[in-house]
Structure 1
Amino acid sequence: MTDLTKLTAVEIAGLVASGETSAVEVTQAHLDRIGAVDDRVHAFLHVDTEGALAAARAVDERRAAGEELGPLAGVPVAVKDVLTTKGVPTTVGSKILEGWRPPYDSTIVERLRDAGTVMLGKTNMDEFAMGSSTEYSAYGPTRNPWDLERIPGGSGGGSAAALAAYEAPLSIGSDTGGSIRQPGAVTGTVGAKPTYGGTSRYGLVAFSSSLDTPGPCARTVLDAALLHQVIGGHDPRDSTSIPAQVPDVVAAARRGATGDLTGVKLGVVTEFTGEGAEPGVMAAFRDAAEALAKLGAEIVEVSCPNFKYALPAYYLIAPSECSSNLARFDGVRFGLRVGDDGNRSLEEVMSLTREAGFGPEVKRRIMLGTYALSSGYYDAYYGQAQKVRTLITRDFTSAFEQVDALISPTTPFVAFPIGSRTADPYQMYLADLFTIPTNLYGGPAISVPCGLSDGLPVGFQIMAPTMADDRMYRVAAALENAVGTLTPPAL
C-alpha cells in the first residue's frame, strides 16, 4: 500500500476526491507518523487527535453525499502555535499562555476549516515568534529531521520540521523577519511569505504588527500555492488587509513547472553575494541561478545599497512594536498570574507574572524596544530606523523597474548545531540577514530548496514586488522542476 505520509497534498486530495482512500485513513496515517517520530523531532506542541479525525469524517461524509470537494479537502495541515484555534491550546511557545484555549478561530484557521483541510495540531515555535532557531520555545527545541542535533530554523521550526519529518504534507507559518523562509531553507522544504496584507492577521498573536505575515509551508511549490490560495484574500476584520484578490498563484506555479522562463528577468542582489555566506551555500545558489538561465531567464546583477542597513533597522522596529504589543500580557486579563496572594500590589503581581512567564529572548527584545521608544530616544532610534525602512523600500522599487524578481540565498549558512549560537544573540540574528529586507518592504518572497552543502539543505530565495506573488511562484516552480525536491534521511 502507498505510504500516505509521503504523498504531496495534490496527490492526497486526488485520492480522497476519487474515493481511492478516505480522509480518515489519510489523517490516521499522519497521526500514526506523529506518534512514531515526534518524540525525537518535537515539531508539535499539541496534537488534536479527536478534532482531526472528526474533521476528516466530515470530509468523507461530504464526498459520500456527492458534494464537490475543494482542491485541498481531506489534506492534513499543521498550524504554527501563533494562530488562535477555538478550544485548542494556543501558547505562542510561551509559559505566559500555557494552557490557554481561545474562544475563537483566527481567519487563517477559519479558511482552512472551510476548505476541508484537516488540522492535526499546533506546532512548536520560538516564544512569541522571537528567534531564528526554535531554541527559544518555552517547551524545548524542535530538531531538524536532516540531523537531529541541528536546528530546524525559526521561529517556525515546528511547522517546517513537521513537513520534513513527513508528519504533515502542509503547514502554516508566520514570517516577521524570515520565520517561514528560513526554516524552509534549512529543512529542505518550501516556505512562502505573501505580500504583507495579502493574508489576514486577525487571530495572529502579534509580535511586530507592521511586519507579521502568515503564510504557507509545503514540500512542493504547487502545494504551497494551493495553500496560499486557500488562506489569502481580503479580511474586513484586519485593518491592514489589502482589499484585492490574491494573484493566481496556482496558475503561476503550474506555468513555472513547464520549465519555460523565456522573457523573465531576474536580478541577483549584489549585496547578498559577498562576504557573510558559507562557500557551499553560495555554490549551490550559483548552480541554481545557472539552471534558471538555461530555462530562458535573463540573469543580471542589481545593487540594493541600503539592504546592508536592514538588520539594524529591523532590530529597532520589531522590538519597539513587540514592546507595545506584549504590554497586554500583564497577568490581569488572561494567561499566567503569579504572586496574587492578597499581600501584593497589582504592579508587583504584574512584575512577577512577566518575570516568570517570559523567556530571555522575549525580555531582551521588550527592553530594547522600550528603550528605543522612550522619551529622548524615539527620534534617534525608532524614527531613524523607519527612515532606513523607506530607503530599503526605494531600493526594491528601483530594482523592480529593472527586473521581474530578485534572487539570493535564503540564509547565509546551513542548519547549525543546537546550542551553538544561543550565547551570542548577534550571531543568531544573522540567520535572517537575507530575509529581513523583504519584510521591511512588505513584498512577497519564497524559499525553495536548491541543493545541499555538507549534506544539508540550501534555500534559494525569490523576491517579487508587492501583490505580484504569482511571479515568485512561477520562478520557484521552474527551479523545483529543474533541480528536483530534497528527501531527508529516514528517521
Structure 2
Amino acid sequence: MENPILPSIDATQQLALSASEAVAAIASGRLSAEAYVTTLLDRAEQQASLGSIIALDREGALAQARRVDTARAAGQALGPLAGLPIIIKDNINTAGLPTTGGTPALQHFRPAANAPVVQSLVDAGAIILGKSNLHELAFGITTTNFSSFAGVARNPYDPARIAGGSSGGTGAAIAARIVPAGLGTDTGGSVRVPSAFNGIAGLRPSVGNGAEQRRYSGHGVLPIAHTLDTVGPMGRTVADVALLDAVVSGAQVPAPAALTGLRLGIPAAFWAGLEDDVAAAMQTAKDKLSAAGVAFVEVDIPDVLELGAQVVFPVALHEPIQDIPAYLHTYGATGISLQSIAAQIASPDVKATFDGPILNDAFADAYTVAIQVHRPQLQKLYADCFQAHKLDALFFPTTPVASVAIDFEQGSSTLSINGGPPVDTFGTVTRNAAAASAAGLPGLALPVGMTPGGMPVGAELDGLVGSDQKLLSIGMAIEAVLGSVPAPQC
C-alpha cells in the first residue's frame, strides 16, 4: 500500500535522484521501482546518441523492478539496494546478457553466471539496466570504440569530446542521468579517468598483493592484467560509491571525516604540467578545503611517475597473454582464442597494441623486473611518504587535462596542453592515475569544479592499501564543502 502522506516523485525528479536517494524513496513507497526503471529506460533510449550503452535489458529490468515492488507491498524486508538500477561495464560477466568486451569476437558471448561483484549487488536488490560501452577490450582511455555494435561513447557535457575510458560508457551514463550508479573496471585509471571527465565519483579499490589485500573479487571479469585489474563502483556522489562499496566489500558505509586537522599530501609531480583551466579549478578547491580546516602538505615522491610507468606498461602488455586465454577457458567462451580476438579487433589503437607488443610478448623481460624490482620500490616510496609526513591521503588532479576532442581516425592519438606541442593522449591522461595502480593502492576520484568552457574537473585521493573506507570518508567530507557539479544540458 502506498504511503498517502509522502508526495510521489515525478519523472524529472527521478532523473535527479542519487543512488542513495532512490533507494530511500523506493523503500518509503514514494517511488515504485517499476516507475523508476521505466523512466530510466526511456531516458537511455532518448540519449542513445551518446553511445554510452551497448545493450539495454528492458524486459529483465522491469521484471526485477516488479519483484521489488511486490516484496515491499507485502512488507518483506528489502535489501540495501532494493530497486536501484545500475549499469555494468561490458567486460564484467552478467548471466543472461552478452559480455562482449566491446570487441567483435565476443559479441555473442553469454557467460552462465554473474561475476561475484555483480551478484553481490543483485543479491542486495540492485537491478541491472544493461551493459555499458567501453574502450575495446578495455585497452584505452577514450572509449572511442570502432566495433559496429558498440561505437563511440560521447561526453554528455560536450558530445564532441571523449567520455574517458576505458569505463567511459558507465561514466557517461551516470553523468547523463541514465542511471545513478554502476560498475567499471580500472587497470591504469579506467574508473578514475571517466569519473573525472564526466563529473562523477569513482573508486579504484585496493588490490595490494592480489590475495588477502584485494578488496573486490576479480573473478568473472574479462581481464587485462591480474596484477593491476579491479572492478570499481561509480556514482554521481561519493556517498553513492560508498553505498555500492559497502555491499560488495561487506563493510559499513563510513561517516564523513572531520576536515579539521586532516593532512593531505600535495605530490609535486602530479601537480606539474597541468592545463591552465584544470590548475585553476584545483587551486580553487584547495583554497576552499584549506578554509574548512584541511592541512595541505607539499611532498616529493622521487621518480614516482617513472616507476609507475615501468610497472604498468610491462604488466599490462605481458599478463594478457596468459590472463585472457584463462578467462575464455574458465567461463566457456568455446572456440574463441586470444589470436582470434586479436584478428577481429576493430579499433586501430587497440589492434596496434595486440598485433605489436602483446602477441609478440615484447615485454617479457621487462615484466620480471617490473614485478620483482620496480613495484616493491614504488610501494615503499608511498609507504615512506605517508609515514614521514603523517598523511591521511594524497590529493591531486585525476588528469592533467579536462576531456579532449574525439579522435575518429585512430581512437587515441595526441593532444596539446595550453597550446604546447602534441603529446601522447593515453600517457598524458593516465599520468597521475597509473602510479597508484602500479602499487596496488586505492584511489578515489571525485568532481571538484568546472572549466570556463563547461567541462568537469576531477581530483583524486590516494591512500595506502586497505584505506578504502578512509578515502570514502574523506571524499564525502570534501564533497560537502565543494558541492556537486551541474548536470549536463543533454
Report the TM range for the smaller structure's normalisation.
0.7 to 0.9
Seen in structure 2, the aligned counterparts of structure 1 residues 11 and 231 have a Cα distance that, compared at 3 Å, is same
Q: Secondary structure at 2:432's aligned position in 1? A: coil
Is the Cα–Cα contact under 8 Å of residues 172 and 216 in structure 1 kept in the other structure? yes
Seen in structure 2, the aligned counterparts of structure 1 residues 369 and 353 have a Cα distance that, compared at 3 Å, is closer
Shift of residue 395, structure 1, vs aligned partner: 1.3
Which amino acid is 2:401 matched to?
A: F
Which of 187, 190, 194 is the equivalent residue of 2:201? 190
For 2:27 and 2:428, how far apart are their aligned partners in 1?
A: 45
The equivalent of 1:392 in structure 2 is 378
Shift of residue 70, structure 1, vs aligned partner: 2.5
For 1:330 and 1:365, how far apart are their aligned partners in 2?
A: 20
The equivalent of 2:60 in structure 1 is 51
The equivalent of 2:43 in structure 1 is 33
Which amino acid is 2:374 matched to?
A: V
The equivalent of 1:406 in structure 2 is 394
The equivalent of 2:406 in structure 1 is 418
Which of 368, 371, 378 is the equivalent residue of 1:383? 368
The equivalent of 2:83 in structure 1 is 74
| Superposed CA RMSD | 2.3
Q: Secondary structure at 2:166's aligned position in 1? A: coil
For 1:390 and 1:488, how far apart are their aligned partners in 2?
A: 42
Residues 104-158 of structure 1: CA deviation (Å, up to 9, x unaligned): 1110111111000111000000112110010135221100000011100000000
The equivalent of 2:183 in structure 1 is 172
The equivalent of 1:466 in structure 2 is 465
Is the Cα–Cα contact under 8 Å of residues 125 and 158 in structure 1 kept in the other structure? yes
The equivalent of 2:419 in structure 1 is none
- Is residue 2:366 matched to residue 1:368? no
- Is residue 2:290 matched to residue 1:280? no
For 1:95 and 1:50, how far apart are their aligned partners in 2?
A: 25
Shift of residue 37, structure 1, vs aligned partner: 1.3
Which amino acid is 1:294 matched to?
A: A
Identity of aligned residues (%): 33
Q: How does 1:314-329 map to 2 (within 5 A)?
A: 314-327=312-325
Is the Cα–Cα contact under 8 Å of residues 146 and 346 in structure 2 kept in the other structure? no
For 2:489 and 2:412, how far apart are their aligned partners in 1?
A: 31
- Is residue 2:211 matched to residue 1:211? no
Seen in structure 2, the aligned counterparts of structure 1 residues 356 and 336 have a Cα distance that, compared at 3 Å, is farther
For 2:245 and 2:53, how far apart are their aligned partners in 1?
A: 22
Which amino acid is 1:15 matched to?
A: A
Which of 8, 12, 33 is the equivalent residue of 2:22? 12
Q: Secondary structure at 1:149's aligned position in 2? A: strand
For 2:157 and 2:233, how far apart are their aligned partners in 1?
A: 21
For 2:446 and 2:85, how far apart are their aligned partners in 1?
A: 21
Shift of residue 337, structure 1, vs aligned partner: 6.2
Q: How does 1:104-143 map to 2 (within 5 A)?
A: 104-136=113-145, 138=147, 139-143=150-154
Q: Secondary structure at 1:150's aligned position in 2? A: strand
Which of 281, 286, 289 is the equivalent residue of 2:286? 289
Structure 2 unaligned regions, length at least 5: 1-8, 208-213, 415-423
For 1:9 and 1:350, how far apart are their aligned partners in 2?
A: 38
Shift of residue 369, structure 1, vs aligned partner: 3.6
The equivalent of 2:171 in structure 1 is 160
The equivalent of 1:341 in structure 2 is none
Is the Cα–Cα contact under 8 Å of residues 169 and 218 in structure 1 kept in the other structure? yes
Shift of residue 447, structure 1, vs aligned partner: 0.8
Which amino acid is 2:268 matched to?
A: T
Shift of residue 351, structure 1, vs aligned partner: 5.5
For 1:9 and 1:353, how far apart are their aligned partners in 2?
A: 36
Is the Cα–Cα contact under 8 Å of residues 221 and 480 in structure 1 kept in the other structure? yes
For 2:180 and 2:187, how far apart are their aligned partners in 1?
A: 23
Shift of residue 423, structure 1, vs aligned partner: 5.7
Which of 245, 260, 263 is the equivalent residue of 1:262? 260
Residues 189-231 of structure 1: CA deviation (Å, up to 9, x unaligned): 1111111110111111111111111111000111110011112
Is the Cα–Cα contact under 8 Å of residues 144 and 412 in structure 2 kept in the other structure? no
For 1:354 and 1:152, how far apart are their aligned partners in 2?
A: 24
Structure 1 unaligned regions, length at least 5: 234-245, 339-348
Is the Cα–Cα contact under 8 Å of residues 347 and 411 in structure 2 kept in the other structure? no
Is the Cα–Cα contact under 8 Å of residues 174 and 181 in structure 2 kept in the other structure? yes
